[in-house]
Each structure stands twice: as C-alpha cells, then as structure tokens.
Chain A
Amino acid sequence: MLDTIALAVSAVIGLSLLLNLGRFMIGPHMLDRLIALDTMYINAIALIVILGIFRGSPLYYEGALVIAMLGFVSTTAVCKFILRGDIIE
C-alpha cells in the first residue's frame, strides 16, 4: 500500500519538477527563474524524503536536511547578486 502511494507521489513530484523547468525556461524575469530553481530544491527534498520512506532508511532525511540548508544559501546568494550586483560587501 505504502509502496504504491510512494510511487504515485514521486510521479507527482516528477511532474512538478517538469513544471518548474517550464517556469524556469519561460521566465521572463530572473526572479521567476530563481524561484523556479528554489522550488526545484524543495521538490528534490520531497523526492528524497519519499525515497527514504520507500526504502525505510533514515539516512535520506539527513540528506534532505542538508539540501534544505544548502538550497537556502545558494538562493540567498543569487538574490543578493540580483539585488546588489555583488554578494559579499
């Protein structure tokens, strides 16, 4: 039962990743693209968590945690760049 649900959810996440990609390609502003990328990070986290449930291993949650943290850093860095043209001032 759980396996079927996990499979279905991962398919949905895959679909949303594709939609993210669509937004990324369309743009039109750089901010739209950045948000698309950030959402991709979120979807990746979701995918890895599902994977963890599917395989029953706690290791994947930690991975998800680290991705969340790292995704935040790269998103802020790009934001800073768009806003100020430089990231360390």
Chain B
Amino acid sequence: MPRLTERWGRSASAAAAALLPAAVLAILLPRVSAVLAGQVYRLEANWIPSHGMNFGFQLDGLSLLFSTLIVGIGLLVILYARYYLPERDKGGRFYAYLLFFMAAMLGVVLSTNLLQLWFFWELTSVSSFLLIGYWHHRSDARRGARMALTMTGAGGLALLGGFVLIGQTVGSYDIGQVLSNGHLIQSSGRYHAILILVLLGAFTKSAQFPFHFWLPHAMAAPTPVSAYLHSATMVKAGLFLLARLYPILAGTASWFLIVSITGMLTMLIGAYQALLKHDLKGLLAYSTISHLGLITLLFGMGSALAAVAAVFHIINHATFKASLFMAAGIIDHETGSRDMRKLNGLWKHMPITATLAMVAAAAMAGVPLLNGFLSKEMFFAETLDQSTLGSISWMIPVFATIGAAFSVAYSLRFIHDVFFNGEPVNLPRKPHEPPRYMRVPVEILVALCLIIGILPEYTAGKVLAGASTVVLGGQLPTYHLHIWHGLNTPFVMSVIAMFAGGAIYYGRGRIFKLQTFFPARDESRLFDDAMRKGQHFFRTLLDHFDNGSMQRAVFWLLFVALVFMMVPLMELDMTIGLRPQIPVDFVMISGATLLCVSSVATVIWHHQRLLAILLLSVVGLVVAIVFALFSAPDLALTQLSVEVVTIVLLLLSLHFLPKRIRNFSSPTIIIRDASLAVLIGGVVGTITFALLTQPFDTISGFFTENAKSLGGGTNVVNVILVDFRGFDTYGEISVLAIAAIGITALIDGIHQAKIPSDPNALGWAIDKHPMMLSVISQAMLPLAIVVSVYIFLRGHNLPGGGFIAGLITAIAMIQQYVAQGYTWLAARMPLNYPSMVAGGLLTAAMTGLGAFLWRQPFLKSWHGHPHLPLIGEIELASAMVFDLGVYLTVVGACMMILSRLGRLSSSSEAR
C-alpha cells in the first residue's frame, strides 16, 4: 500500500503504512484486560490436519507484550522515518519493507505452531536483509545485509532442526502441546541436541557472542531500522524464543551453563567494545549487544525471579534503546556526522533533543527514577542469589557490577562527548533542532522510561505479570516493583557501578591506548575470508560430481537411480504377472520395429542433428499411434501436437547451432555410458513389464464413476484435468508461463552474430516465402482455429480440451510465421503474447477463487444444464472457464517462445 500512495508524497506513504499497525493495535487493545486476566485468544485454521499441523495465532500474556512492543514502536518509527528519509526518497519501498517485517515479526510472536513460527522467523531475517541493504548503492550496506542474512539464516536452519527434533519427541508441533510435555523433552536423549540447535537459532538472532558481530555491521541500515529491528524488536526474537520455550528447556545444568555464560560474555564484551566506538551508532549497537547479553544471562540463571527481571528488562531496553537510536538519528540528520570525536557541545544547539537523549542514556546506565534502574536492581539481586557455580559463585555479581560499570561509562560518554565537551569540530552542517514531529516519538519513549521508572507497579506491572506467568508456565513468584528497596546489597552494587563507571570514563584515554596494542580485528574481513574458503571447498567438492558437463551430471543421476531400482528388484523372483496378455498382431510388430529401429538410429546418428530430429518425430508418431490403438485419443492428439511444436522449436534453435558436431567422448566414456544405458533400459523394461502384467486396481475406477456426477463431464481425462486435479493443472500452466517468460528473458539477452552460411543448405532456394506455401497456410489458419474451437468446446465430454486446442491454435499460427515471416505477420497480427499468458493465468485463478463465493474449496467446479430458447439445452460448467484459461496460457506461452526465437533469427539475418 505505501508503494501505491508514495506518489502523493512522503506523508501519504507514512500514513498508509501506519494503517496496519493501527489496525493491529485496535484489535489488541480491547483484549488487553482479558489476556492479562489469563485468557488466551486463539484463531486457527486447518493447514495439514493429517500431520496435526494447524495454521493459527494465539494471544497470551507473552505475545501480548511483544505485539504491543512491535506495533507501538512500529508506529513511532513510521512517524520518525517520515522525517528521517531524505527528500527525494518517497519512502514507499521503505515502508513496504517495514510492514513486511512487522507482519513477519507479529507472526513470530503470535504463532501457535513451531514450524509456522520458524517460517515467520525466516521472514524476519529476509526483511531485515532488505532493510539493512535499503541504501543498496552503498557497499557497506550490502555487506552488512549479506552478513546479517548469512548469520541469522544459518541460525534459522539450526532452529528448524531443533524444532523438528522437538516435534518428533513430543509428537506435535503445536506450541501448547509442546509446552505441556516438557518432561518428555528433558528426559529424552535428544535434549542436548535440541537445546544446542534452538540456542544456536536464538543466539544468532539475538547477536550473542560469538555471533554478535553481524549487529554492528547491520548499522549501515537507515537509523529508523536500527531503532526498530536491531534494538527494539527483531533481535529480541531470540529472547522471545528463550522465553517461549523456557518452561521446557530451562532448569537443567546445561541450560544454565550455556545460556548464562554466553550471556555474561556477551554482556562484558559488548560493554567494553561500546566504550571504544567513536561512531554513535556503533556505541549503541555494542551496548545493545551488551544488554541483550544481560537479558540472556537473566534467562540463563533459571530462577523464576530472574525470568521476571528478564521480561522486565526487555520492555525497558526497548523503550530507552529505541529512543536513543532515534536521538542518534536526529543528531546524524541535523549535523551530518556520527563521529563522537567531532560531535561536541551540541547542548547549545539542540537543548530539547539533548535533554531527551540524556534521560534515555541515564536509563541505559541505570540511574534511579528511570526504568533501567529497576530492572538492573532486580538483576543484581538475582546475581547475588546464585549458587550454581559452587564456591566461585561470588564471581557472578562481581562480573555483573563490572558490566554495569562499563554500561555507565559508555552512557556517560554518549552524554558528555556529544552534548558537552567543547565545541563541534568541522561538522558538515550547522546543528539545529529537528522538525517538531521527528522528536515526538523520542518524547513518547522517554516519557515511558520516566513513568515506568517512577510508577512501575501501575504501568508495566500488569503486562509484566501477564507475560512472566506465561514464561514460567503458570506460577508467578512474589516480587515487588518499587523505586526504593532500602539500602541493600543491590543498591550498593549500583552505587559502586556508578562510581566505577565514572572512573572508567575519566580514564578512557588509557583504555583507548591499551586497545592500540591489540591488532585491529576486522570481523567483516574474517567473515568474508571464511565465506570464501567455504565456497571454494564446496565448489571443489561439487566439481567431482558436477563439473558443468551434462554428460557427467546425467551419468550420476541415472547411476544412482539404477542402484536404487536394482536393489529391490533383486529381491523379487517372479516378474510375470497373471494378467492375460494381449495377442500380438502384425501391426504391433511393425510398430515395435519402427520404434526400436528409429530409437537406436537416433542414438547412432545424433551427431547429424537434423536427421536426429526427424528420427525423433518418427518415434513420436509411433507413440501417438500406440496411444490411439489403446483407446486414448486425447493422449494421441496431445502427443502429436507436442511433437510438432517440439520439432519447430528444435529447428528454430538448430539455426543457431552447428548442424553437425564432432564426437568428443573418449571410447572409455562411450562404453561406460552405453553400458549404463543398456542396464537402465533393461531395468525399466522389466519394471514396466512386471507392472503391466499384474492384475491390480487402479484409481481410475473412481474417476470414471464420478466424472459425470461430480465434475459434470463425461470425458474423464478432461474432468480430471480441470476439476479433480485442477490445482495441479493450475500449477502446471503457471510453470509453463514462468518457462515462457524465462526463455524470453534469456533470448532477449542474446546478441547473436550473423550465422555462418551453410553451403549445403543456405542459398539453395532464393524465394523466402513461396507463394504456394503462403496461400495454403493462410487457408489453413481459419480451418485450424475452427478445429481447435470445436475441440475446446466439446472437451468436457469428448476427447479434447483447452490444452490440445491451445496447441493446435499455436501450431496453426506458427505455420503462418513459417510461410510469411516474422515482420509480415507482426504487422497483421498484433497480438501481445505476454498479456495473453497473463490473461490466461488470471482467468484460471479467478475461476478457482470464484468457488470461494459459494463457500466451496478452491477450484471446486459448478455445472448446470440451462435451457436457452432457440439453442436448446446447453451444458455449462465453470470448469470450461478454467479450461479457457489453460487454452490462453498454452497459446500465449508457445507463441511467446517461438515467435521470440523466430524474431531473433530474422534480426540476425538482417545484420
């Protein structure tokens, strides 16, 4: 939608983009109190019921929290981006991607089914890729996008593995069922595999050490994206997963070790790196990593209170970090730089933004009266309670305090370096306050930080309780959200962290100096090297099987097929069935001789291409006669028409190819291939013979009996095509259309030089378009069209149908091209083949969808026998319209390919 409205300017596309989140919010809000009271809304539709898979959404406390975050911050980001994007960018594409992401993310948090969740999870990776690479002219954006996609995509693959294992262990993919069967997973031998695979998915998504490096590179995205995806929502998807699967995965020693140590490392490394960054967004990116690590650590501790603190910190982090990113974006937008060595003393130029940013940064540092303080206190309290590490458990609170101290230090750096500390240095633009409404989202978020910080119980309390109940699987521990807990150990830790942070910031010069002793590590280079090595390795591996030689590829394919076919055949001893065999007559013998001789001759003479084509058409003709003999006139007609189209196509391409080719294969390879071919032929022949002689029931009985009553036609083949298996047919014509478009695109890319003339053929006849041929061909066109209309119309009851009719029409039209040439015909028959294909597909799709109007499944056909005056009773079936779609697609696709090839050859002649 934003893409459609972008022509009316940025505001219009922003407004259109806001519709979706506003609508979701309108659905969410009335249900808030009920959900918090413990009610769960579910919306389900059958998907693959035979495998117990349903497509569904459910709204409980946890998903309510996340959807509110996604939609709420989404709305603010949409408003913010309206002012952030440059003038010339109308934002349609941006908002389209953003909404794509938003929908995918909502899908992740609302899914009732693990596989469905995984699907949306992958969609968030894809949308994140598109958004990071939004400014695709910049190489860092492209690299960052690629890196993010590789990391999160690899994690997603691991996650899928984990989900499948969970599904197999529990026997269901439904999240509710999985959650209530946690003991099955923890007691099964697969627990560790599941844990590691799921954690890989979660950690790559949430940028945990050692997968954290993609997040700073993702900062090449426009700042609204960084604020939204890479701090507030998408990177929280991993945490969401931890929270969602907490009841079944948590509580074991391995969970504690892996999750909490990863979280701890991530927190410390992120905090340290954040201090070192000179780039504003770099600082925020590493601080995001650090805070994500903190939340992971909280989940890892495994105690109920820690989980509550984790959920609380998710809320708090989303509010203050999104506002900080937006503030950073404003600074970047209004000054033209994000380098903290240049940005100084902005307080004088943008006091309001500065105040807002400082409050948010203070929340990040954990200053009292702000929301960051509360969750940090809870975090400290939890670290004190840990005893899992035995006698060295005291290290946990110490490391936590160190992390917090660094957090204070980089927050201080953000405040002091940017807004104070002297005057701006060489800024590209004169700094000033941003437009009024650009600041509004920041104001709202900062206000939230304050309100939650001062009145936690009344604002976030209920949502937190609702979400935590779900995470913990029902029992909520007693806890108190207060600003003042008294002068206890956590508070002392906070005070220590404050002072230590100040000291670290004061002494940051030394840290910078210390860092210069280490060789600078460029993760993106390491990443690229690893990718290149991996690609090289797999390419070498692949070359052993598939080196681009068709011959070798086919050999492997057939060889494997042969092995798989022969093994079970060896176990059978009798292949001749009991079915009475049809006596052989002379016609059969001559047909079989024709078939065998011409097949073998094709192989022998395949170097002479024209001859090989002629031989192939002999084979086709015999096959068609066989079809006719065994009462399959439909197949015979189809076979013949396809035969003719193929010959024309081959002749057209033969024009560009050498007429004869040399023999490239060495004798060894010829013997290898020949023996394989003989073996395959023998095996397939045996199977066919065994199959044909067995008396067995086919499914055709059902179709023959029900064709008239259910499908309204007596031609079973056609009824199957357009009704019983209409969806298959629809897929097939789509493939045909895609192939036609693909071939056209390929041909358009060819710049063919003039064909070297063949002394044996070219110039033999001077007349390009002999008159006799033209006259006969012109006379043939209407005749052929009448035939095809006839075949089309009767198709539902007697042999025929859209496909054959389409082929006959196409062949008749090709004949005109052959007789008259491309230019002559293009002037007289201005048909647009691509639109014909599109029209055909649309017709078919509309017919299928039309069934929905009568509450019938897709493509369910309708038929009736209305009695019209004058004409009498006629038979109508909606399947006929579908068949018309097939007809149009077939004609369009054939003509698109052939006429394009023909035009190519005519243009190369002219040159």
User: B593 contacts the other chain (Cβ, under 8 Å)?
Assistant: yes
| Interface check B822, CB cutoff 8 A | yes
Q: Does B586 contact A (CB under 8 A)?
A: yes
Q: In the bound complex, what is the Cα–Cα distance between A80 and B899 (angstroms)?
A: 16
Please tell me if the beta carbons of A44 and B587 are within 8 angstroms of each other in the complex: no
In the complex where A17-B594, A59-B633, A69-B787 touch, is A24 in contact with B618 (Cβ < 8 A)? yes
A60 touching B633, Cβ below 8 Å: yes
Point out the residue from A15, A62, A73 that lies within 8 Å of B815, measured CB to CB: A73
- Closest residue on chain B to residue A65 by CB atoms: B787
A21 pairs with B637, CB closer than 8 A: no
Instruction: Find out whether the CB atom of B587 lies under 8 angstroms from the CB atom of A85.
Output: no
Nearest A residue to B620, CB-CB? A74
* Residue among A65, A81, A87 facing the most chain B CB atoms (10 A cut-off): A87
- Distance (whole angstroms) from the CB of A71 to the closest CB of chain B: 8
One of A17, A34, A62, A82 near B591 (C-beta < 8 A): A17
Given A14-B586, A69-B787, A74-B647, A21 contacting B799 (CB threshold 8 A): no
Q: Report the separation of the CA atoms of residues A69 and B780 in the bound assembly, to the nearest whole angstrom.
A: 8
Which of B651, B765, B791 has its CB near the most chain A CB atoms (within 10 A)? Answer: B651
Which chain B residues lie closer than 8 Å to A7 at the CB level?
Answer: 585
Contacts of A69 in B (CB 8 A): 780, 783-784, 787, 808, 811-812
Query: Are the CB atoms of A11 and B648 closer together than 8 Å?
Result: no
Cβ-neighbour of B762 out of A13, A14, A84 (below 8 A): A84
Indicate which residue in A37, A44, A66, A87 contacts B808 across the interface (CB closer than 8 Å).
A66
A53 interfacial by beta-carbon distance below 8 Å: no
Within 507-523 of B, Cβ neighbours of A (below 8 Å) are at none
Given contacts A14-B587, A47-B625, A59-B798, contact A81 B654 (CB under 8 A): yes
The stretch from B188-196, B271-279, B854-862, B902-910 touching chain A is B902-910
Convert A26-55 into 0s and 1s, putting 1 for each residue whose CB lies closer than 8 angstroms to a CB of B: 000010011001001100100110010000
| Contact (Cβ within 8 A) A78 B624 | no
Nearest Cβ on chain B to A82's Cβ, whole angstroms: 6
Complex: chain A residue closest to B815, CB-CB: A73
Task: Report how far A35 CA is from B191 CA in the complex, Å.
Answer: 73
B614-627 vs A: 1/0 string, CB under 8 Å?
11011001001100
Most buried by B among A13, A37, A47, A67: A67
- Determine if A11 and B637 form an interchain contact, defined as CB atoms under 8 angstroms apart: no
Pick from B593, B610, B611, B903: contact of A21, CB below 8 A. Answer: B593
Alpha-carbon gap, A60 to B761, bound state (A): 38
Smallest Cβ distance from A30 to chain B, in angstroms?
7
Question: Which B residues are in CB contact (< 8 Å) with A63?
Answer: 628, 633, 636-637, 799
| Chain B residues near A89 (CB-CB < 8 A) | 768-769, 821-822, 905-906, 909
Contacts of A21 on B, CB cut-off 8 Å?
Answer: 593-594, 597-598, 618
Residues of A with C-beta under 8 A to B601: 25
Partner of B614, one of A11, A37, A44, A59: A37
CB of B590 within 8 A of CB of A17, answer: yes
Interface of B is mostly: helix
Closest A residue by C-beta to B597: A21
Q: Are B761 and A88 in contact, with the CB atoms below 8 A? A: no
What are the residues of chain A within 8 A of B641 when measuring CB–CB?
66, 70
Least CB distance from B388 to A in Å reads 79
Q: Which residues does chain A contribute within 8 Å of B769, judged by CB atoms?
A: 89
Whether A66 contacts B614 by the Cβ 8 Å rule is no
Task: Give CA–CA (A71, B273) in the complex, Å.
Answer: 77
Given contact pairs A21-B598, A89-B906, A89-B909, A83 touches B765 in the complex (Cβ within 8 A): yes
The answer to the question of B581 belonging to the interface, with a C-beta cut-off of 8 Å to chain A, is no
With A and B bound together, what is the CA distance between A14 and B769 in angstroms? 36
Q: Does B541 contact A (CB under 8 A)?
A: no
0 or 1 for each of B340-373: is its CB under 8 Å from A? (1 = yes): 0000000000000000000000000000000000
A65 to B669, CA, bound (A): 46
B783 nearest CB neighbor, chain A only: A69
Report the separation of the CA atoms of residues A64 and B476 in the bound assembly, to the nearest whole angstrom. 82
Residues of A within 8 A of B808 (CB): 66, 69-70
- Cβ-defined contact, A78 with B647, below 8 A: yes
* Interface majority SS (helix, strand, loop, mixed), chain A: helix
Contacts of B598 in A (CB 8 A): 21, 24
Residue B643, interface by CB 8 Å: yes
Give Cα A89–Cα B651 distance, bound, in whole angstroms. 13
Distance between A83 CB and nearest chain B CB, rounded to angstroms: 4
Q: Which bracket fits the contact residues of A? A: 35 or more
Given contacts A33-B614, A41-B621, contact A87 B591 (CB under 8 A): no
Asked if B647 and A77 sit within 8 Å, CB to CB, the answer is yes
Are B589 and A14 within 8 A (Cβ)?
Answer: yes
Q: Which residue of B lies closest to A27 (CB)?
A: B611
Is the Cβ of B640 less than 8 Å from the Cβ of A25?
no
Indicate whether B25 reaches chain A with its CB closer than 8 angstroms: no
Q: Binary interface profile of B, 821-838, with partner A (CB < 8 Å = 1, else 0)?
A: 110000000000000000
**What's the Cα separation between A84 and B764 when bound, in Å?**
7
Q: Are A86 and B585 in contact (CB under 8 A)?
A: no
| Residues from chain B with Cβ under 8 Å of A87 in the complex | 648, 651-652, 655, 817-818, 902
Chain A residues lying within 8 Å of B821, measured Cβ to Cβ, are 88-89
The CA of A70 and the CA of B611, in the complex, are separated in Å by 19
Q: Which residue of B lies closest to A22 (CB)?
A: B597
Tell me whether A70 and B640 are in contact (CB under 8 A).
Answer: yes
Bound-state CA distance A49–B789 (Å) is 22
B817 touches which one: A13, A83, A88 (CB < 8 A)? A88
Query: In this complex, what residue of B is CB-closest to A9?
Result: B587
Q: Which residues of B contact A66 (CB under 8 A)?
A: 637, 640-641, 787, 791, 808
| Residue ID in chain A nearest B908 by CB atoms | A86
Residue of B587, B589, B594, B768 touching A84 (CB-CB under 8 A): B768
Asked if A86 contacts B655 (CB within 8 A), the reply is yes
Q: What is the chain A residue whose CB lies nearest that of B824? A: A89
Docked Cα-Cα span, A8 to B190, in Å, equals 73
For the complex, is B691 an interface residue (Cβ under 8 Å from A)?
A: no
Check: B644 CB closer than 8 A to any chain A CB. Answer: yes
Q: Give the interface centre of A10, A25, A69, A89 by most chain B CB atoms within 10 Å.
A: A89
Complex: A24 Cα to B905 Cα, angstroms: 29
Partner among A11, A67, A83, A86 whose Cβ is within 8 Å of the Cβ of B586? A11
Q: Tell me, in angstroms, the Cα distance from A44 to B629 when the chains sit together.
A: 11
- Least distance between B232 CB and chain A CB atoms (Å): 60
Residues in A with CB closer than 8 Å to B637 are 63, 66
Between B590, B629, B799, the greatest number of chain A beta carbons within 10 A of the residue's beta carbon is seen for B590
Cα-based distance from A10 to B585 in the complex (angstroms) = 10
Chain B, range 754-779, C-beta contacts under 8 Å to A: 755, 757-758, 761-762, 764-765, 768-769, 773, 777
CB distance from A3 to the nearest CB of B (A): 12
Q: What A residues does B199 contact at CB under 8 A?
A: none
A83 touches B761 (CB 8 A): yes
Instruction: Decide: A70 near B811, CB < 8 A? Known: A7-B585, A78-B651.
Output: yes
Assess whether A74 is in contact with B768, with CB atoms less than 8 Å apart.
Answer: no
Flag if A86 contacts B905 (CB, 8 Å): yes
User: Which 3 A-B residue pairs are closest in the complex by CB-CB distance?
Assistant: A88-B902, A14-B590, A83-B765
Q: A7-B585, A82-B610, A89-B909 are in contact. List 6 more A-B contacts (CB 8 A).
A: A15-B586, A40-B594, A72-B780, A76-B773, A84-B761, A87-B902
Interface residues of A (CB under 8 A from B): 7, 10-11, 13-15, 17-18, 21, 24-25, 30, 33-34, 37, 40-41, 44, 47-48, 51, 59-60, 62-63, 65-67, 69-70, 72-74, 76-78, 80-89
What is the interface of chain B, defined by CB distance below 8 A to chain A? 585-587, 589-591, 593-594, 597-598, 601, 610-611, 613-615, 617-618, 621, 624-625, 628-629, 633, 636-637, 640-641, 643-644, 647-648, 651-652, 654-655, 755, 757-758, 761-762, 764-765, 768-769, 773, 777, 780, 783-784, 787, 791, 798-799, 808, 811-812, 814-815, 817-819, 821-822, 898-899, 901-903, 905-906, 909
- Provide a sorted-by-A list of 22 A–B residue pairs whose CB atoms are within 8 angstroms: A11-B585, A11-B587, A13-B587, A14-B589, A30-B610, A30-B614, A40-B618, A48-B625, A63-B636, A66-B637, A69-B784, A69-B808, A72-B780, A73-B648, A74-B644, A76-B818, A77-B651, A78-B610, A83-B765, A84-B768, A87-B651, A88-B821
